[in-house]
Amino acid sequence: MDLSTDFFSLFELPKIFRLNLSELDSRYRDVQAQVHPDRFAHASEAERRMSMQWATRANEAYQTLKKPLERAKYLLHLAGHDLQAENNTAMPAEFLMEQMEWREAVMEARGGGDHHELERLHNRLRSDMVGRFDELAALLDEKQDYAAATDLVRRLMFLDKLLYEIDDALASLEE
């Protein structure tokens, strides 16, 4: 086994965004069964260390590929497209205004203890993100338009953070 193999090849899956997640789960279990450190308990130290490295690599690959946003980032990385997320935070004014409106609505609902409004915002945002992930799938799998996909992934990173904030607000109301 080659530790430098990409995550898709590790699980013998096509390098596409629209992965069959049940197939990913199955392939992950197969790889883990082969490399799990318990299988190497009586092996040499070098073999145990290699098993641990492979198990760690399989876990990292699985965690990356099972999450749509992380999978998209990884596909862009494989295609040689850097998100420059830390350096490039420029977004269209319309998108930024939308973000401000979302955040204000979340703050207002959180401040008012409005659990139902937070759930409504959560569901609306989740639905919006599903549509954007469909668009991303077309950009990555069919069009190979990595520049547009990079822009969309950066937007989805904003939305993912907002979804986390809504979930955090909901959790704080349940305490």
Q: In tens digits, what is the pLDDT along the chain, a chain of 175 residues?
A: 677 899 999 999 999 999 999 999 999 999 999 988 888 888 899 998 999 999 999 999 999 999 999 999 999 999 999 887 666 667 889 999 999 999 999 999 999 999 999 999 999 999 999 999 999 999 999 999 999 999 999 999 999 999 999 999 999 998 7
What are the residue ranges of CATH 1.10.287.110 in the chain?
Answer: 7-66
Residue 97 sits at the vertex; the CA angle it makes with 93 and 103, to the nearest 5 degrees, is 145
Residue 43 DSSP SS3: coil
Distances from the Cα of 39 to the Cα of 51, 54, 165, angstroms = 9, 12, 41
CATH topology classification for 7-66: Helix Hairpins (1.10.287)
Nearest to 64 by CA among 56, 55, 73, 51: 73
CATH superfamily of 93-174: HscB, C-terminal domain (1.20.1280.20)
**CA-based R_g, the chain, Å:** 20
Cβ–Cβ under 8 Å, residues 75 and 133: no
What are the residue ranges of CATH 1.20.1280.20 in the chain?
Answer: 93-174
